Structure 1
C-alpha cells in the first residue's frame, strides 16, 4: 500500500478536506505525509522602485502565512499520530512544483482537491489538479 503521501494544499476548505482524508489514509496504512503549499511568484511590471518594496512585503507575508498554515496542519496530523512534514514552494507553475516535490520526497501518492471548475471557466483558467493528473507519473487521488 502507499507509504508516503504528498498532500497539496491551498488554504481552501476543499483542500483541507483532502488533507483530512489523507490523514485517515495515512493513519490506516501507517504512512507518512508531506504537505506542500505551492504558490505562484509575485509579478509586477513597472519602473517604479517602490514596487520592489511591495514585492518584498508580499513575498515575506506570503511565506509567513504559509508557514503558519502548514504548522497548523502539521499539528493536526501529530494529534492523530501521523508523521507529517511540510514544505512551501514558490513557482509560477504550482502543478510542476507539486510534482517535483512528490518526486523529490519519494512519495508514492499525491492527494489533492478538485475545485470543480467546469465549462468555459474551467477551460480558460485551467486546473492545477488537472495539470498534475496530466503530467504526473505518480498516482493521484483527487478528493471532491
Structure 2
C-alpha cells in the first residue's frame, strides 16, 4: 500500500498528535516517514534582509534552529517508535508549495497532514495549507483529525 509517508509539521499544538498518528499509521502499513517543516522566509523582511547581509552564518543558524525546534520532537518520537524516518526543512513563504515539491522530489506516496479546523472568516483571512494541498496535489493526501493535547 503506502511505503513513504510525508508528514508536514508546523510547530503548532497539534503537531505532536499528528506525529503520533502518522507513526502509528506507518507502523500499521510498514512505511517509512519523512517529517518536514517549511520555515517562513524571514529574510524577505527588512530586518531579516539586514541580518542576512550583516551576518549570513547567524541568519542561517537562526533558520536551522527554528526548524530543529519543530522537527526534534518528531525525530525523537520516530526513534522511540522504531519507524524508519528522516527530517527535512526548507525556507518558504508558501508552505503548501514547499510540501508538494519536497514530497514529489522524495517520491513520497502519501502526504499525511492535519487540518487546523479553521472556518469562515478566519480561513479566508489566514488561508489553509491543507486546502491548498488538496487542490494542487498529484499524490494522495490524508487529512488527519487530531485532538490538541
- C-alpha displacement of 1:57: 4.8
Match in the other structure for 1:37: 37
Consecutive unaligned residues in structure 2, runs of 5 or more: none
- Cα distance in 2 for residues equivalent to 1:4 and 1:68: 23
Partner of 2:3: 3
- Counterpart CA distance in 2 for 1:122 and 1:135 is 18
Which 4+ stretches in 1 moved above 6 angstroms? none
TM-score, length-normalised on structure 2?
A: 0.85
Q: CA deviation at 1:53?
A: 4.5
CA–CA distance in 1 between the matches of 2:93 and 2:26?
A: 30
1:95 matched residue in structure 2: 96
Q: Is the 8 A contact 1:44 1:51 kept in 2?
A: no
Could you tell me how far 1:60 is from its partner in structure 2? 2.5
Given the two structures, how large is their TM-score scaled by the length of structure 1? 0.87
Residue 22 of structure 2 corresponds to 22
1:122 corresponds to = 123
